[in-house]
Amino acid sequence: MAQVGNLQLTKPAPEFSAKAVVNGEFKDVKLSDYRGKYVVLFFYPLDFTFVCPTEIIAFSDRSEEFKSINCEVLGCSTDSVYSHLAWINTPRKQGGLGNMKIPLLADKTMEISRKYGCLKEDEGVAFRGLFIIDDKANLRQITIKELPVGRSVDETL
């Protein structure tokens, strides 16, 4: 069975609870909120960086395609909800995200990144992790990449 740290494919995904920016507002989000749906949980290093907005915008812009297959997309970094909101409120032409159709989780304590094995401890940021969690909260895909390596939304779908 494939394993990364304490994570194992087909085994339960670590539960988490975090503040998030959802539709421009601060909300509490838990993995258990999505029981009965698939979840794509992706981690990115920092707000206001050059590679991140492209991926995050792509996941957001295609969120309806994910919803059509009973899947929700969640983004997560070690930034605060205030940083997330500032990035969302910055126009895309100025390096911001603009309107987001997916929640952005704030992992200020780095607990979620650590649980999912993608925390770059020496910098306090997450590697680019992507986890597909099934409708019973079991891990179906575990991918962790170096900071400069991006992801494909098409491949994830």
- Distance CA(12)–CA(9), nearest Å, equals 8
Tell me the H-state helices in the chain.
52-61, 63-67, 81-89, 111-115, 153-156
Residue 121: CA count within 13 A, CB half-sphere: 3
Q: Catalytic residue, from 52, 71, 76, 118: name it.
A: 52
Query: How many residues are there in the chain?
Result: 157
CA-based nearest residue to 52, from 28, 78, 22, 23? 78
Q: Scanning the structure block, which residue is given the tokens 């940083």?
A: 83
Catalytic residue flag (residue 71): no
Q: Do strands 71-77 and 104-106 pair parallel, antiparallel, or not at all (unpaired)?
A: parallel
Catalytic residues: 52
